[in-house]
Amino acid sequence: MLKTKHVRRTFAPLLAGLASIIALASPSLAGEEQVINAFSTWEGSGQMVQTGANTSPFVGTLTGAVYIESAEDGPLYAGTMTCPAVLEVNLEDGSQSAKGDCAIDLQDGARVFASIACTGYYLVGCRGDFTIKGGTGRLEGVSGSGPVLFRSHLHEMALTAGQPVQRRDAGIAVFRNLKVVLPDAAAKP
């Protein structure tokens, strides 16, 4: 009996996560706007070099897990996100701007394509827009957009950048009130 309860406790959140992702593609939701809250914990690797008196760009790839927030079960693992991106850091005032493209691979094999553009300040974060540009599999034709907030400590590294240097970083991306419209094809078996 104890073993069965342990298995249920261990796998219940995973099954709930899968159920929430599958529910996003149910026939009753196809073509209707859905609002999702999610976040990604990411790691980045790339190159950083000072390219001007006060500028130091980071050119690299951010990769990490994506979690969808569930009101009942908290954060549920949904898949992975990979984003080639460029972050420009102003060494004088700490301002930053970034842009990139992303592929989000969901657990069931579907993929979502998106773009990111943000501006902000060191320690405050880079706020901007996350735009869904389509997908594959059951999510072919998906669309949507919403605000995104990226946080990292790249500016700290930029202050030490002179010659081109390989850099690693970590951070979080927060997606609040992401509006998603699922394609009619997502409702087909």
**Domain at 27, CATH number:** 2.40.480
Q: Which of 13-17, 86-90, 115-119 has the lowest mean pLDDT?
A: 13-17
**Cα 179 to Cα 33, 96, 129, 151, distances in angstroms:** 6, 26, 12, 21
Q: What mean pLDDT is predicted for residues 76-81?
A: 95
- Between residues 30 and 87, the one the model is more confident about: 87
Query: Total domain count for the chain?
Result: 1
Q: N- to C-terminal Cα distance for the chain?
A: 37
Does the pLDDT at position 27 exceed 50?
Answer: no
Instruction: Write out the residue range of the structural domain in which residue 26 sits.
Output: 2-187
pLDDT of residue 118: 97
Report yes or no: 180 and 23 within 8 Å, Cβ to Cβ.
no
Mean pLDDT, the chain, as a whole number?
A: 80
What are 129-176's pLDDT values in tens digits? Answer: 999 999 999 999 999 999 999 988 654 555 555 556 667 778 899 999
Upper half-sphere CA count for residue 104 (Cβ side, 13 Å): 27
